[in-house]
Copies of this chain bind each other. A is one copy, B any other.
Amino acid sequence: MKVDLKKLKKIVGKDNASGDSADLYVYSSDASVHQAMPSVVVRPKTAEEIQKIMRYANKNKIPVIARGAGSSTSGHTVPIDGGIVLDMKRMNNIIEISSQDMLCKVEPGVVDDDLNRELKSHGLFYTTSPASSKIATIGGEIGANASGMRAVKYGATRDIVLGMKVVLANGDLIHLGANTRVHSSGYQLEKLIVGSEGTLGIVVEATLKLVPLPKFRCLAMAKFNKLEDAGEAISGIIASGALPSMLELMDNIGIEVVNKSLDLGLPDVAAILLFEADGNIKEAIDYEMEKMKKVCEKHNGFEIEMSYEEKERKRLYAGRKNLFSSLSRYKEGITCTDLADDMGVPTSKIAECAHEIHEIAERNNVIMAVYGHCGQGVIHTKIMMDTTKKEQWDDAKRVVEELYDYVDSIGGTTSGEHGIALSKAPSWKKARKDLLPVMKAVKKAFDPNNILNPHKLMDAPDDWVTATNLRYRVR
């Protein structure tokens, strides 16, 4: 694709635009299985620069893909058609923090943990907390509607975004939302932009709702000899009216994986549940924890450990925290791929779904651990396989198809928090045929020339395996 690099350098400065193949390679993939080379990489610093870039791109019908940390597991930032990748990380100013209005205004390149470090000194807390919060940018979290372990209490990014400034495909800058916790002033397009995967506009500023930083956190670990029992405990905890600030599951494969690769000495049981309550009143947290403990015991949870101490909480959480990284170190020749990695299912169906995942994996010669943010119905898994073997990709494809057909059959949804992009598009499109025409019409309303992250979501290719190059060498 022909892109005028000189023109772009004029806009952002010569050091902030590159067509150098080494640079381009870095931006050709994210945490997904996909890989495709951009034409150029641009690192804008201001909304005005982005407006100029969009006007140029729109006039010349050049794809523009906004990118934060590149931690997407589904291929959001892979430039399937080449074009301009916008690295947003230079736009990393925290513009305003207001305790009186319990909100902050930030640029999209601000990193999640950096924001919370700053907010801590104000006694405030930004609640989106993906496992990748060390690197994840607010802009990326908005693109995917990220949530993470605390969404069971605090909701996802969409629930937290009060407003934003957005540069549209035609270069216009619009201001969405309000500085109030609620508003009814017209279509709340700020909520539509969250989770739109960079296909509707480029977010250049976000207004985020904050909560008081909890004084106390108490974390507990319960062991189960039957996965069904752990599942019953999850829906039991939700039904009990308890308000966990975290409710996480790990199955026996996950436990084995962590023990093998980290030697954490986790108990060799069928499942582990981690549950947390947070707040400013210890009595209230004790009450919540006791309530959840009783539910676990009722469903044969045993050896329940519980602590307010950070050190102890870290120990109890270590297995869950390191699970993802452990998966890739599980076995020589076995690679962990981010596929079918975050389906959402009703909390009442967690155990049943975990079982089904194990059976599907076995049937198809791959390994799949089951874990995740089960309090909000988000199940995580990965497909672990020999990525050098063509047949294993066929196995993986079958797994993804069988799994999502099942998820659909129990009233679940394709993605709980990572998004659709490329890897999940075929399954999602199959499940939600009814939505495609109206989503395409909305996309056209925002982006008539289809330059914003094209060929993703409803416009993605029907076969994820061949949608792009794979990020792996396949013999």
Query: Which residues of A are interface residues toward B (Cβ below 8 A)?
Result: 98-102, 123, 144-147, 151-152, 155-156, 158-159, 168, 172-176, 178-189, 191-192, 194-196, 200, 211-213, 235-236, 238-239, 241, 243, 279-281, 283-284, 287, 342, 344-348, 375-378, 411-420, 428, 432, 434-435, 437-439, 441-442, 444-446, 457-458
Contact = CB atoms under 8 A, between A and B. Distances in A.
Contacts of A151: 181-182
A441 B446 CA distance: 7
| Most chain B beta carbons < 10 A, residue from A99, A184, A191 | A184
| Most chain B beta carbons < 10 A, residue from A100, A145, A146 | A100
Nearest to A177: B413
Contacts of A175: 432, 434-435
B347 A101 contact: yes
Contacts of A191: 158, 188, 191-192
Contact of A181 (B211, B235, B377): B377
Q: List the 10 closest A-B pairs by CB distance, nearest first.
A: A212-B241, A180-B377, A284-B284, A441-B445, A283-B283, A178-B413, A180-B344, A100-B348, A181-B376, A156-B182
A344 B178 contact: yes
Contact of A180 (B99, B211, B243, B376): B376
| Most chain B beta carbons < 10 A, residue from A172, A179, A189 | A179
A222 B432 CA distance: 52
A376 to B, nearest CB: 4
Contact of A192 (B192, B346, B428, B446): B192
Contact of A238 (B101, B196, B348, B377): B101
A174 B441 CA distance: 14
A442 to B, nearest CB: 5
B280 A378 contact: no
A458 B342 CA distance: 38
Nearest to A414: B185
11 contacts: A99-B239, A156-B182, A173-B434, A179-B345, A180-B416, A183-B415, A186-B420, A186-B439, A187-B442, A188-B194, A211-B241
Contacts of A181: 151-152, 155, 375-377
B238 A418 contact: no
B438 A174 contact: yes
Nearest to A170: B437
Given A175-B432, A184-B417, A189-B439, 15 more contacts: A99-B239, A100-B235, A100-B236, A100-B347, A101-B346, A123-B241, A144-B184, A145-B188, A168-B438, A179-B346, A179-B377, A179-B412, A182-B376, A184-B342, A189-B442
Contacts of A101: 235, 238, 346-348, 377
| Most chain B beta carbons < 10 A, residue from A99, A144, A146, A342 | A99
A236 B441 CA distance: 45
A186 B435 contact: yes
Contacts of A102: 238-239, 347
Given A241-B212, A283-B281, A184 B100 contact: no
A192 B187 contact: yes
Given A99-B239, A176-B435, A188-B195, A182 B442 contact: no
Contact of A147 (B182, B185, B378, B416): B182
A442 B439 contact: no
A5 B179 CA distance: 47
A363 to B, nearest CB: 25
A241 B183 contact: no
A185 B100 contact: no
Given A99-B239, A174-B434, A239-B102, A418 B184 contact: yes
A187 B143 CA distance: 10
A441 B179 CA distance: 25
Contacts of A152: 181
A413 B180 contact: yes
B345 A180 contact: yes
B416 A184 contact: yes
B441 A172 contact: no
Nearest to A196: B187
Contacts of A444: 445
